[in-house]
Amino acid sequence: ESISVLSDALSQIESQGNVSMNSTSSGSVVSSSVDTESIVGRELGTHVYKYTHLEPILYALGVGMSTKDPDHLKFLFEGSEEFCCLPSFGVIPAQTSMFDGVPSLPGLNIDLARVWKNKVANFAWELTSVSTVADILDKGSGAVLLIDVNTYCGKDLVCYNQFSLFFVGAGRFGGKRTSEKAKLTAVPPKRPPDAVISDVTTVDQAALYRLSGDWNPLHMDPSFAALGGFEKPILHGLCTFGFAARNVLKQFANNDVNRFKAIKVRFANPVYPGQTLQTEMWKEGNRIHFQTKIKETGEVAIAGGYVDIVPALEKSSTQEPQMIGGLQSNLVFEEIGRRVKEMGNELVKKVNAVFQWDITKDGKTAMQWTIDLKNGSGAVYQGPARSSADTTFILSDEDFMDVVQQKINPQKAFFAGKLKVKGNIMLSQKLEMILKDYAKL
């Protein structure tokens, strides 16, 4: 459906403008205007992206993260106390939302839609992305479609992406060249960069990154790459994007995903797997300008990029938990305790796990609770787990109440860094059966 809409748009351009979509002719063409009103605002479709902890880890590996760097562990190990997704992971569910309905490529025995839809696995969580045509631009040599993608966890907006799709030979239809809806890049300061980080990509970088869902044969098949005018398969642009994003996150936000607010880039030149990416960064207030160069050639791969970051909060010098009253979450745990006394034996059989909750207030641990559904007939008590906890949850009192009252989806809270999990993250699914009963407290 999504591609048929794009096809409709380009067919209008072709028929009304008398221009072939693949034409590279430089001849003068007089065209009538295209009915852009029937195109702009049309929904391309809705795509559900299903994932577990595996997908964020695989993505992190695909953009060059390594266990050689201790700072990378929280993005690679689901058992880390601070386990979380890279902010740039948000492009993955958004990009795949545009894959539905991709037709077979003429003359080639390749069906991109079939490659994507045949991916089968058992998943735990879902993100839903809705794609919409934001605008259509006439660049002369081609047409540009601006695609807005909003990604939701339930009803909660997780992230927003905008993609620019350029179609060679589909221009000269009398349309506008610019749009106020386009998110613009920014020119970096005219001074030496404040920081430079180099990353050597491996020859298998594209082979690894494609496992995050971009199955375009341009990045693997030499024959297909040759059809595109490349001497060999090229690296995914969004892989290069991921390298740059994580470098900015580490250099200027200390890998705190909560401080990552927005990112914008323009892809300028292709990168070949095995080449060295050089990310140059400039700090201007809360905006980090950056560009990525190919060290071997000096060419700019990403131009005009920037990341907007949130200022860091002051950290308290007090590290020990300060058990305080007045927390709304206390009422929930007390009620859970009463229910466990009534149904403990049944819950222990179903769950067989010990959960510890570290409830924070103003950035400090304010209270600890343990839900033991593993030993005896179960128990709920204040304080850390008396035996080893299988899973530990860390979140604020306010966020805990939002999760319990279903004002925020636990997946979104985790994705946004509000909920941190240590230990066996998959056991958290079993805990849902308990928390769902207390949504109306």
Residue 121: predicted pLDDT: 32
Classify residue 56: in a domain, yes or no. Answer: yes
User: Which of 14, 174, 48, 38 is CA-nearest to residue 116?
Assistant: 48
Final residue in a domain of this structure, among 142, 160, 182: 182
Classify residue 8: in a domain, yes or no. Answer: no
Does residue 267 carry a pLDDT above 90? Answer: yes
Classify residue 19: in a domain, yes or no. Answer: no
| Strands, E assignment, 336-423 | 353-361, 364-373, 379-382, 391-396, 420-423
226 & 155 share domain = no
Classify residue 365: in a domain, yes or no. Answer: yes
Give the domain range for residue 82: 36-182
| Terminal-residue alpha carbon distance, the chain | 43
88 & 175 share domain = yes
135 & 261 share domain = no
225 & 296 share domain = yes
Final residue in a domain of this structure, among 312, 338, 360: 312
247 & 363 share domain = no
Classify residue 21: in a domain, yes or no. Answer: no
Contact 96, 69 (CB under 8 A): no
Classify residue 2: in a domain, yes or no. Answer: no
The 3 state secondary structure assigned to 47-69 is EEEEECCHHHHHHHHHCCCCCCC
pLDDT, tens digit, 9 for 90 and up, residues 167-195: 777 788 888 999 999 998 999 999 999 99
More confident residue, 158 or 167: 158
Mean pLDDT of 338-364: 86
Domain with residue 120: its CATH number is: 3.10.129.10
Percent of the chain with pLDDT over 90: 39
Percent of the chain with pLDDT over 70: 80
221 & 355 share domain = no
Contact 356, 385 (CB under 8 A): yes
pLDDT, tens digit, 9 for 90 and up, residues 299-332: 999 999 999 999 876 544 444 444 455 788 888 8
Does residue 151 carry a pLDDT above 60? Answer: yes
Does residue 414 carry a pLDDT above 90? Answer: no
Mean pLDDT for all residues in the chain: 80
40 & 152 share domain = yes
Residue 341: predicted pLDDT: 86
d(CA 260, CA 353): 34
409: pLDDT confidence band, cut at 50, 70 and 90?
confident
435: pLDDT confidence band, cut at 50, 70 and 90?
low
110: pLDDT confidence band, cut at 50, 70 and 90?
very low
92 & 118 share domain = yes
d(CA 284, CA 306): 10
d(CA 105, CA 18): 23
Classify residue 11: in a domain, yes or no. Answer: no
More confident residue, 96 or 8: 96
265: pLDDT confidence band, cut at 50, 70 and 90?
very high
Contact 69, 77 (CB under 8 A): no
118 & 168 share domain = yes
Does residue 273 carry a pLDDT above 90? Answer: yes
Residue pointed to by tokens 């200022």:
311
pLDDT, tens digit, 9 for 90 and up, residues 18-51: 433 333 333 333 344 566 777 788 787 788 888 8
Residue 68: predicted pLDDT: 87
DSSP, residue by residue, 179-210: -TTSPP--PPPSS--SEEEEEE--TTHHHHHG
Does residue 16 carry a pLDDT above 60? Answer: no
Tell me the CA distances in angstroms from 301 to 240, 249, 270, 325, one per residue in order.
8, 19, 6, 54
Tell me the CA distances in angstroms from 208 to 63, 202, 211, 220, one per residue in order.
9, 10, 6, 10
165 & 231 share domain = no
What are the catalytic residues?
Answer: 214, 219, 234, 237
348 & 211 share domain = no
Classify residue 51: in a domain, yes or no. Answer: yes
Does residue 87 carry a pLDDT above 50? Answer: yes
User: Which of 392, 316, 420 is CA-nearest to residue 361?
Assistant: 316
Q: Who contacts 319 (Cβ-Cβ below 8 Å, separation ≥6)?
A: none
Does residue 229 carry a pLDDT above 80? Answer: yes
Residue pointed to by tokens 């807005």:
148
Residue 171: predicted pLDDT: 81
389: pLDDT confidence band, cut at 50, 70 and 90?
confident
242 & 306 share domain = yes
Does residue 125 carry a pLDDT above 90? Answer: no
Residue 2: predicted pLDDT: 39
Supply the pTM of this predicted model: 0.66
Domains of the chain: total = 3
User: Which of 386, 397, 385 is CA-nearest to residue 422?
Assistant: 385
407: pLDDT confidence band, cut at 50, 70 and 90?
confident
Q: 369 forms bridges with which residues in the sheet? A: 357, 382
Final residue in a domain of this structure, among 262, 288, 312: 312
Residue 172: predicted pLDDT: 84
